[in-house]
Amino acid sequence: MGCGTGFLSIPAASIVGDEGLVYAVDVSDYYLMRLRKKAAKLGIKNIDAMRTSAEELDEVPDNSIDRASFTLSLYYIGDKAQAITRLRQKLNNDGLVMVYEPIASRFLGHGTETSVITALFTARGFEPQFVKRGLLFWTGLYSPA
């Protein structure tokens, strides 16, 4: 969610191989264009770069996602509760969601708080597998309950 120019999408495409598919989602046409150019230059064909918000994900089939990541992107999502609800619909029952975000109180409000996001995930059918606060960033791993 919030793939940007492919920092995680490009390596993920290599990991899942030719049999897998990476949904790279962003609201920025510019970032998606750069991602597509990078993928083409590297000969990567298993990335579906789509312009949609995390709250929508209409083009992604239900129960089709094995792994998802909010890496430095959850803060920018307007309706976090809706985004998590939609992701649960798209995630298969063995799926995992990784969150890596700045801690809001350490970045003058630019970021998210561990307890708030964990409560949002829990209320929407997830259970935390791992949550750790660092000095500036926090990491969470959530699975369907």
The number of beta carbons lying within 10 Å of the beta carbon of residue 40 is 11
- Distance in angstroms (rounded) separating the CA atoms of residues 56 and 101: 21
Edge to edge, the sheet with strand 137-144 lists 65-71, 91-102, 137-144, 126-133
How many structural domains is the chain composed of?
Answer: 2
* Residue 46 and residue 73 in one domain: no
The number of beta carbons lying within 10 Å of the beta carbon of residue 120 is 18
- pLDDT, residue 110, reads 83
CATH at residue 113: 3.40.50.150
Q: For residue 58, tell me if it sits in a domain.
A: no
- What tens digit of pLDDT does each residue of 81-129 get? 999 999 999 999 999 999 999 998 888 778 999 999 999 999 999 999 9
| Average per-residue pLDDT for the chain | 96
CB 3 within 8 A of CB 35: yes
Domain range for 14 is 1-51
Q: For residue 42, tell me if it sits in a domain.
A: yes
* Residue 34 and residue 83 in one domain: no
- pLDDT, residue 26, reads 97
- What tens digit of pLDDT does each residue of 99-108 get? 999 998 888 7
Please, is 15 exposed, middle or buried when counting C-beta atoms within 10 Å of its C-beta (0-12, 13-18, 19+)? Answer: exposed
* Residue 78 and residue 114 in one domain: yes
